[in-house]
Amino acid sequence: MDIFTPVLEGFGTVLEPGNLLYCFIGVLVGMLIGVLPGLGPAATMAILLPMTFGIEPVTAIIMLAGIFYGAQYGGTITSVLLRLPGEASSVVTVFDGFQMAKQGRAGAALGVAAIGSFIGGTASILGLTFLAPLIAGFALDFGPPEYAALSLLGVTLVATISSGNKVKALIAASIGVFLAMVGRDVFTGTERFTFDNLSLSDGIDFVTVAMGLFGLGEILYNLEERHKAMATPEKPKRVWPTKGELKQSGPAIGRGSILGFLLGILPGGGATISSLAAYGVEKKVAKDPSRFGKGAIEGVAGPESANNAAATSSFIPLLSLGIPANATMALMFGALLIQGITPGPLLVSEEPELFWGVVNSMYIGNILLLIMAIPLIGVFVKILSVRPAILAPITVLITLIGAYTIKNSVFDVGLVVLFGIIGYLMKKAGFEPGPLVLAFVLAELLESSVRRSLILFEGNLGEVFTRPITVTLLFVFLVVILLPIIQKMLGNAKAKSKSKELVS
């Protein structure tokens, strides 16, 4: 068990009071921003990224983990209290969660969601603790061709699994790759697409892209949506779930955790699929399925455990292969890179203290979330009753000033605004910003692997067939690209599937 000594040693660092404080702040601000209507975890993390700059890497990661879990839970809070899912993966929570809130059981719903999230998340981290080093060990033999195929697959999977128009998602992804090419070429040092602008010669900063597209774009979009009816949160009568409710939701939490963990490893909408699947399972297992949609606590417990388990297990491909599985992980990837940590197979073996630092901070983030979520429910209800008209400009200023503080550069603030406008227009035109950001993050790996492979193969593309893993990955890539086209040709009506997916 030698490999696990760093795990235990790592806890020592993570548990230092200073680090715990940062984790606490992370969870708190993550929840506070995540609870703002319309801002999902990706937006929340993007807006708060500058907070983690300028502090020690380990501390920064711990804070990031806190923000991550806080932001995840923020979406749950709005689902239950306002019937406003922060992101796709908490849509099903609305079905029973909002009903419970209307019956005055919002506290029970949020409490069970917090407990479920904690158990699901912790189970996933345990799985990650054992699985990630194994996968990383396997990936150590990967050469440039494998990485080229893997990152290509990563980009296309996220683009094609995303909910919107697939071709548009792929267009967005290709533009994301292109934008990442701006700046100095890593191989030759040639400046590309900088138009002799000094500020661009180091390339476009990932943080400005993410803060603009996810953060500001989302805020501008909400500005337009604000006239819509919104439920006013009701003050929950009880904050804690009763013993009976806990007993009832126990098995659901267990099933949700396992389901979430398994589905979360898959790239794409792991968390969304798993929360839908968990809801379906709970409805099937229940003795009286008709209770669902009327405030059945399992309908909150199962999906919430599942989506947090999935959100956590999507760290596995990130930490072991260096491939982010979804938009939130793309943000995590970018944030870790900024801290000088390159997620990938080498991380476990070469920098174990950093790897286990990341993993351990997730344990802590999860525990703090559980401790803080329930007592703070009253605070969230208060925040949600503040008018969005007042909260919106504050969020804007946090984003703009945060962007400035990264490098004390007004140019960066301008870029954030530019990407904010682009993000808004993309949403209006039906382009998902997620694939663009993910592709932007993966672009460097993709380009350097492709170019190295070409040099390795000496231009003979037939060499690919001497590498079985690459061939397999490329085969999956082809299936992912071709399957939707074949399905369309066979005339599978896709329009009806939306509601079916959600409830089946």
Partner 1 sequence: MTSISQTDRPAVDKSEDSDAESDIQAVGDDAETPEELLALWEEEAPEPAGGVANLVACVLTLAFGVAGMVLSLNLSLGSLTDPAPGFFPFVISLITTVLSVAQIVLGRRGGDGEKFSRYSVTVVWGVISLLVFVAVLPIIGFEIPALLLSFVWMKWLGGESWRSAILYSALTVIAFYLIFVVALRTQLPHLF
Determine what percent of the chain falls in helix, strand and coil, rounding each to the nearest 5: 75, 0, 20
Phi, psi for residue 387 in degrees, rounded to 5: -65, 135
* Contacting residue, 55, 337, 371, 454, with partner 1 by CB under 8 A: 454
CB of 14 to partner 1, least distance (A): 24
Q: Which two tokens stand for residue 248?
A: 């009832």
Cβ atoms of 320 and 348 closer than 8 Å:
yes
* Contacting residue, 12, 244, 288, 389, with partner 1 by CB under 8 A: 389
CB of 184 to partner 1, least distance (A): 9
Binding flag, residue 129, partner 1 (CB under 8 A): no
Cβ atoms of 280 and 80 closer than 8 Å:
no
- Please name the residue that has the structure tokens 């804690």: 240
Cβ atoms of 423 and 415 closer than 8 Å:
no
Binding flag, residue 390, partner 1 (CB under 8 A): yes
Q: Give the interface segment with partner 1, choosing from 133-141, 170-178, 201-209, 474-482 (CB under 8 A).
A: 170-178
SS3 state of residue 231: coil
CB of 13 to partner 1, least distance (A): 24
SS3 state of residue 183: strand
* Contacting residue, 48, 135, 177, 213, with partner 1 by CB under 8 A: 177
Q: Which of residues 209-238 bind partner 1 (CB under 8 A)?
A: 216, 220-221, 223-231
* Contacting residue, 251, 254, 388, 484, with partner 1 by CB under 8 A: 388
Q: Which of residues 275-304 bind partner 1 (CB under 8 A)?
A: 292-294
CB of 437 to partner 1, least distance (A): 16
Binding flag, residue 192, partner 1 (CB under 8 A): yes
Could you tell me which of 212, 210, 191, 211 has the C-alpha nearest to residue 202?
A: 191
User: Taken in order 241, 242, 245, 251, is the CA torsion positive or negative?
Assistant: positive
Q: Which two tokens stand for residue 111?
A: 């409490």
Number of residues that bind partner 1 (CB under 8 A): 78
CB of 356 to partner 1, least distance (A): 30
* Contacting residue, 408, 468, 490, 493, with partner 1 by CB under 8 A: 408
CA distance 288 to 309: 26
Query: Which one, 170 or 318, has the nearer CB to partner 1?
Result: 170
Looking at residue 211, the DSSP 8-state letter turns out to be I
Query: Which one, 218 or 261, has the nearer CB to partner 1?
Result: 218
* Contacting residue, 424, 470, 473, 474, with partner 1 by CB under 8 A: 424
* Contacting residue, 32, 65, 311, 396, with partner 1 by CB under 8 A: 396
Q: Give the interface segment with partner 1, choosing from 29-37, 41-49, 184-192, 348-356 (CB under 8 A).
A: 184-192
CA dihedral of 344, 10, 132, 332, whole degrees rounded to 10: -50
Binding flag, residue 196, partner 1 (CB under 8 A): no
CA distance 185 to 125: 37
Binding flag, residue 401, partner 1 (CB under 8 A): yes
CB of 323 to partner 1, least distance (A): 18
Binding flag, residue 193, partner 1 (CB under 8 A): yes
Q: Output the CA–CA distances (angstroms, integers) from residue 65 to 218, 297, 368, 492, in the order listed.
A: 22, 28, 10, 41
SS3 state of residue 109: helix
Binding flag, residue 187, partner 1 (CB under 8 A): yes
Query: Which one, 11 or 457, has the nearer CB to partner 1?
Result: 457
Looking at residue 236, the DSSP 8-state letter turns out to be P
Q: Which of residues 94-113 bind partner 1 (CB under 8 A)?
A: 94-95, 98-99, 102
Query: Which one, 253 or 439, has the nearer CB to partner 1?
Result: 439
Query: Which one, 8 or 485, has the nearer CB to partner 1?
Result: 485
Looking at residue 242, the DSSP 8-state letter turns out to be P
- Left (φ > 0), alpha (ψ -120 to 50) or beta: where does 83 sit? left
CB of 214 to partner 1, least distance (A): 16
- Please name the residue that has the structure tokens 């158990």: 119
Q: Give the interface segment with partner 1, choosing from 29-37, 69-77, 245-253, 388-396 (CB under 8 A).
A: 388-396
* Contacting residue, 67, 335, 417, 474, with partner 1 by CB under 8 A: 417
CB of 69 to partner 1, least distance (A): 23
Q: Which residue(s) pair with 183 in the sheet?
A: 192
* Contacting residue, 458, 462, 491, 493, with partner 1 by CB under 8 A: 458
Q: Which residue(s) pair with 191 in the sheet?
A: 184
Report residue 313 CA to chain centroid gap. Answer: 11
CA distance 359 to 437: 24
* DSSP E strands, 99-237: 183-184, 191-192
SS3 state of residue 55: coil
Binding flag, residue 55, partner 1 (CB under 8 A): no
Binding flag, residue 387, partner 1 (CB under 8 A): yes
